[in-house]
Structure 1
Amino acid sequence: MIFPYLDIILRSLAVYFFMTIALRVFGKKELSQLNTADIILILLISNSVQNAMVGPDTSLLGGLVAALALFIINYIIKKLTHKYKGLNELLLDKPEVLIHNGILDFNALSKLDISHEELKEAAREHGLEHLTDIKLAMLEVDGTISIISEDKKQLKQSHFKRKHNHKNLRK
């Protein structure tokens, strides 16, 4: 009885790894704030891969087996990435330094496609007027920009979410 569902499990695993690789390639900055087009994309992707996972089995049990396989592989991957640092570095992004002691890392900013205006907006959200007041600015793995200021009184527990319209801000 389990063999008909083995195909669904294997298909679900293939889709899971494809989506993991695709998200790794397209980067964390795409996940920081979802707009309408992003939500539509996610819905269309989920619809397009649904048939790839369950094949001709559109039964409730087939869908539940696919979902269970996804939950299990996600659980296993999380456990393995915590245990094996190399796998963690391969599958998961790392935080990126954007500003250190008031000095902008232009290579990182260019690679991550973060504009000067985005950094200034993040600084303002953290109550800072100038980028030189920033001790450390990081693009976190969830796409937020976290900032530690030189002035300990200015330290806030907020996060700046990147917006997708940052290309319009460049001059």
Structure 2
Amino acid sequence: MLELNVWEMLLRATGAFFAILLLARIIGKKQLSQLTFFHYVTGITFGSIAAEISAQVETPFWDGLISLVWWSILTMFVSFLSLKSKKARVLFDDKPMIVMQNGVIVADNLKKARLHTDELTMLLREQSIFSVDEVLYAVFETNGNLSVMKKPAQRSATKVDVKADVTMPGFLPTELISDGKIISENLIELDLTEDWLLKKLKKKNIDSVEDVYFAQVLENGSLYISLRDSTGE
């Protein structure tokens, strides 16, 4: 009897694993990133159903799988409605709320968001803001985070402010070599060639790509290189 249960649980866990993997891909990244309270709750429920299928022998496998699939369909339906209708978006996801305006705490909105001043100051401290006087606007987002706009005098100076070089970067830093192998798709995406890469390595006295553990093209077109020897291999 014990052996039968072991094999059954292995099969159930395997089935639940691939089911949740497939459904997670179908639902998409937005759901999995838990952007709002709705996404957070549905994400927890999604995982709970999968756990019930894989761990509870009393739960019929196909009944649990149907529940998981139906929950996914409902989630996608709600996401579709939210995409098409602003009213539905507010209904399911709520809307951002201004809790500080022109440097003043908006007490009514703070109450609507069910926040008290201690929580507000805590959220500010999480952004390294210890004085409320630094804040011009603060918006309580639908995912529970606080977005802050500081007063002009409290903002960090930008390169434009100090008249520094603001030339646009030539490249997005991207991995080109991993564990001695060239990542061809990244070269193609950046409109670069293997010949260009090999010449760059040659200039650094590296004759073989296999000697490179990791290489990344930087914003200015130069290469960051970590050799195998430096990793202790």
Task: Name the CA shift for 1:149/1:66 in 2 (closer, same or farther; >3 Å).
Answer: same
Equivalents in 2 of 1:120, 1:85: separation in Å? Answer: 31
Equivalents in 1 of 2:77, 2:60: separation in Å? Answer: 26
State whether structure 2 residue 76 is matched by structure 1 residue 80: no
**The structure with more helix, counted as a fraction of residues:** 1
Q: What's the counterpart of residue 152 of structure 1?
A: 155
Task: Tell me by how many angstroms 1:105 deviates.
Answer: 0.3
Amino acid at match of 2:98: V
How many residue pairs match? The answer is 107
SS at match of 1:113: coil
Is the 8 Å Cα contact of residues 101 and 132 (structure 1) preserved in structure 2? no
Equivalents in 2 of 1:147, 1:90: separation in Å? Answer: 24
**Higher relative contact order, chain-length normalized (CA < 8 Å, sep 6+):** 1
SS at match of 1:136: strand
Is the 8 Å Cα contact of residues 99 and 105 (structure 2) preserved in structure 1? yes
1:9-20, aligned counterparts within 5 Å? Answer: none
Amino acid at match of 2:64: G
Question: What's the RMSD between the two structures over aligned residues?
Answer: 2.9
Q: What's the counterpart of residue 108 of structure 1?
A: 109
SS at match of 2:148: strand
1:19-168, aligned counterparts within 5 Å? Answer: 58-150=59-151, 151-153=154-156
Cα shift readout 1:26-73 (whole Å, capped 9, x = no counterpart): x95xx7xxxxxxxxxx79xx69xx8xxxxxx94211110111000011
SS at match of 1:135: strand
Task: Tell me by how many angstroms 1:90 deviates.
Answer: 2.1
Amino acid at match of 1:103: V
Equivalents in 2 of 1:125, 1:66: separation in Å? Answer: 39
- Identity among equivalent positions (%) equals 24
TM-score normalised to the size of structure 1?
0.53
